[in-house]
């Protein structure tokens, strides 16, 4: 009998303790709710109060914070057979997996970067930061997959969060590998580069409501596939900020703002300061950056980034995320 038992979402460790693990992580270092709902990633969903379910590294996870601990559970794939689930997973495999999942999570949240020390430094340099920081502790920059980050942020231009989230959900359903079903809801991986290079990709994206961004997504996928490749894109992590930015801005649908988002959120460029309309207004109103144009010109964009880098230092992008 091969009928796969439908998997259920796991809200909390109490329900099924053996399937949960935890990492030490005080709230001053990470506030899950703030980070996962702030528009850095569009793939996390508050599945029940305090529990966040989403896809990371080709697996489905539920995360939860309790005091000084970050709890997590990872769901098996559909193809994994029942015998593994009940008789207790093969101990050896489970142990190896635990070290690996710990590592994935620590890397994704960049837990080796001490956030409280950074908050102190930014606050010492900037009274306005201090005020905001009080209400928003534990906001850190995720280290996302470059392909997911790039194509997600191509979708953000001249758009709003609720629609961006819905578009990316449809993108994954249509082009991404199906991972598993939780409470009858299917979860899909973010599409690989090659999934987006098909001849009909643009038309399919238009049908999914991507509008003019359909051409940007398919065009950038093609350009990367025929150029640096997924590996080359990932290798931008070891290149200087200016070089990564230059390469990204050559892609269709990628201008200064999207390039900075990709640099900051997936390519380890902590000095990248994405300047959206919101940041632009704050720079003028709260920080008195004198650039009284009617629109955010390339010149003004550069000036605002330089201003915040001068104020906050080499991790200005992290401070801006707060």
Rounded to a whole number of angstroms, the minimum distance from the CB of residue 167 to DNA is: 9
Residue 74 or residue 217: which is nearer to DNA going by CB? 217
Q: Which of 97, 108, 119, 144 shows the shortest CA–CA distance to 32?
A: 108
How many Å apart are CA 28 and CA 117, to the nearest integer? 10
Residue 26 or residue 252: which is nearer to DNA going by CB? 252
**How many residues are present in the chain?**
322
Catalytic pick from 8, 131, 215, 257?
257
The residue ranges that bind DNA (CB under 7 A) are: 38-40, 156-163, 166, 206, 209-213, 216, 249, 251-259, 261, 274, 276-278
Residue 20 or residue 108: which is nearer to DNA going by CB? 108
Rounded to a whole number of angstroms, the minimum distance from the CB of residue 177 to DNA is: 26
Q: Which two tokens stand for residue 158?
A: 């001249």
Rounded to a whole number of angstroms, the minimum distance from the CB of residue 322 to DNA is: 12
Residue 254 or residue 267: which is nearer to DNA going by CB? 254
Rounded to a whole number of angstroms, the minimum distance from the CB of residue 302 to DNA is: 12
Half-sphere exposure of 173 (CA within 13 A, CB side): 12
Residue 40 or residue 73: which is nearer to DNA going by CB? 40
CA angle 182, 188, 194 (to 5 degrees): 165
For the question of residue 257 being annotated catalytic, the response is yes
Rounded to a whole number of angstroms, the minimum distance from the CB of residue 317 to DNA is: 10
- Inter-CA distances, 261 with 17, 267, 292, Å: 37, 9, 24
Q: Which two tokens stand for residue 310?
A: 């001068």
- How crowded is residue 52: how many other Cβ atoms within 10 Å of its Cβ? 20
Q: What is the bridge-based pairing of β-strands 178-182 and 185-188?
A: antiparallel
Residue in this structure with the two tokens 């005020």, named with its chain if needed: 131
Question: Hey, which residues are catalytic here?
Answer: 257
């Amino acid at each position: 009998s091969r009928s796969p038992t439908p998997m259920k979402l796991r809200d909390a460790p109490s329900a099924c303790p053996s399937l949960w693990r935890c990492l030490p992580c005080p709230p001053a270092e990470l506030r899950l709710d703030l980070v996962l709902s702030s528009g850095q990633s569009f793939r996390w969903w508050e599945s029940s109060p305090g529990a966040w379910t989403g896809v990371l590294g080709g697996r489905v996870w539920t995360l939860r914070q309790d005091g000084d601990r970050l709890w997590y559970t990872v769901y098996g794939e559909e193809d994994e057979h029942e015998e593994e689930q009940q008789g207790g997973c093969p101990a050896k495999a489970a142990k190896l997996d635990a070290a690996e999942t710990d590592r994935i999570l620590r890397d994704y949240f960049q837990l080796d970067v001490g956030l409280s020390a950074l908050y102190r430094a930014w606050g010492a340099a900037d009274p306005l930061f201090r005020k905001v920081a009080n209400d928003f502790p534990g906001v850190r920059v995720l280290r996302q997959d470059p392909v997911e980050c790039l194509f997600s942020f191509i979708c953000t231009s001249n758009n709003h969060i609720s629609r961006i989230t819905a578009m990316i959900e449809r993108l994954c359903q249509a082009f991404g590998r199906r991972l598993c079903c939780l409470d009858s809801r299917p979860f899909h991986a973010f599409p690989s580069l090659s999934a987006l290079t098909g001849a009909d990709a643009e038309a399919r994206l238009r049908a999914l409501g991507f509008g003019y961004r359909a051409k940007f997504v398919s065009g950038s996928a093609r350009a990367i596939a025929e150029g640096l490749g997924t590996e080359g894109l990932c290798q931008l992590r070891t290149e200087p900020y200016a070089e990564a930015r230059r390469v990204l801005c050559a892609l269709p649908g990628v201008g200064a703002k999207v390039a900075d988002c990709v640099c900051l959120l997936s390519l380890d460029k902590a000095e990248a300061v994405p300047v959206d309309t919101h940041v632009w207004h704050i720079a003028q109103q709260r920080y008195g950056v004198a650039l009284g144009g009617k629109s955010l010109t390339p010149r003004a964009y550069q000036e605002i980034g330089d201003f915040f880098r001068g104020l906050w230092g080499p991790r200005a992008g992290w401070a801006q995320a707060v």
